[in-house]
Amino acid sequence: MKISQIVMRDISGAVEKLSTLREIVPQLIIVFGCVEHFADPDFFKVLKASFPEAELVGCTTAGEISSAAVSNSTSIITAIHFESAAFQLATAELGSMDGSFQAGETLAQQLQSPDLKAVMLFGQGVNINGSALIDGLTSVLGTRLPMTGGLAGDDGAFSKTYILSSHGISTSEVVALGLKGEKLLFSHGSFGGWKAFGPTRKVTKCVDNVLYELDGNPALDVYKRYLGDYAKDLPGSGLLFPFEMLTNSRESLGQIRTILGINEADGSLILAGAINPDGYLRLMHAHTNDLVDGAETAAHATIDGMPVPQGQSLGMLVSCVGRKLVMGGRVDEEVEAVQDILGENTVLCGFYSNGEICPGYKLETCRLHNQTMTITYLAELS
């Protein structure tokens, strides 16, 4: 596997900047970038003209991750040449949140193959039920096939996100990459680092990913009481105080839910994924050191027991925008921690997201996560 990467800050002069990536004859171009770039109609034209033979995939972010650093208002463009592995691109339209399951089914039907080894998945990050999207895929492909990826970001605005595929740039698409090959190495890791606080609250009314009541009271009212002064900055401030999901016996499910929006009219909270209707929720918070430790745990889980490939490997990091807000000026620390563990031959790319897609810590079944560091590791054996 050969990998080349650039950090692009300005679309002007992009053709010359992108020309360096063509040296490895890439078959796949992964782009994680700011909303301003994706919204510019010239952006896709330049990418397509520069790489007419390669597949394009990517999304907008709440911060871009590269081997160099975490950046903002840039696009991280990563070119990959596989020696033997193969891949297939699938896309589906997602017109409304209610269509999330069907969109996942559509992607899976395009990718279904006896030699399919793994799936990388990217969805628009606002008008979506990430849990239902994953359920749609697993209803066709099964729960044992590894799937990783994330939901697009828009710098914490929760307004409009963009998805890139070889067909163009869209605000209402989901895209998946099916990976194949006997020599392909694919692994993953995921961990949070958040800590629960306060009492558990019973979910007394919810529909899919919309939470209406906690302990019989409007969920928004309960949440605002906990947030205090932070409540005036909702929904953005909700990234600092996600929910831990618990079973009906108050045991942790190992999943966190972030708020994507609020509805003042009916007092509901719109979460990034489905909620356990018979369970409990509890608020969480974190400090930077906890989150960096969580990223290290995810990195160790990713390469635990993996053979060492010759040549380059790819580490795709999808971390939650809420983690970025908590860490502030120290956000590079979690990326540096992952780089130290994966090694200097691993090229990092990734983004801060509205939701992370990965099996849970040391588990097989794919889930939608919030507030986690998720890592996808790609390499080829010689």
With bands split at pLDDT 50, 70 and 90, how would you rate the model's confidence at 23?
A: very high
Residue 362 has pLDDT above 80, yes or no: no
What single-letter amino acid sits at 380? E
Residue 310 has pLDDT above 80, yes or no: no
Chain segment 264-287, per-residue pLDDT in tens: 999 999 998 889 899 999 999 888
Distance of CA 56 to the CA centre of its chain: 17
Higher pLDDT: 154 or 253? It is 154
Chain segment 173-216, per-residue pLDDT in tens: 999 999 999 999 999 999 988 888 889 999 999 998 999 999 99
- pTM of the shown model: 0.88
* Nearby residues of 73 by Cβ (< 8 Å), 6 or more positions away: 9, 34, 36
d(CA 215, CA 138): 32
What single-letter amino acid sits at 187? S
Handedness of CA 138, 141, 144, 147 (dihedral sign): negative
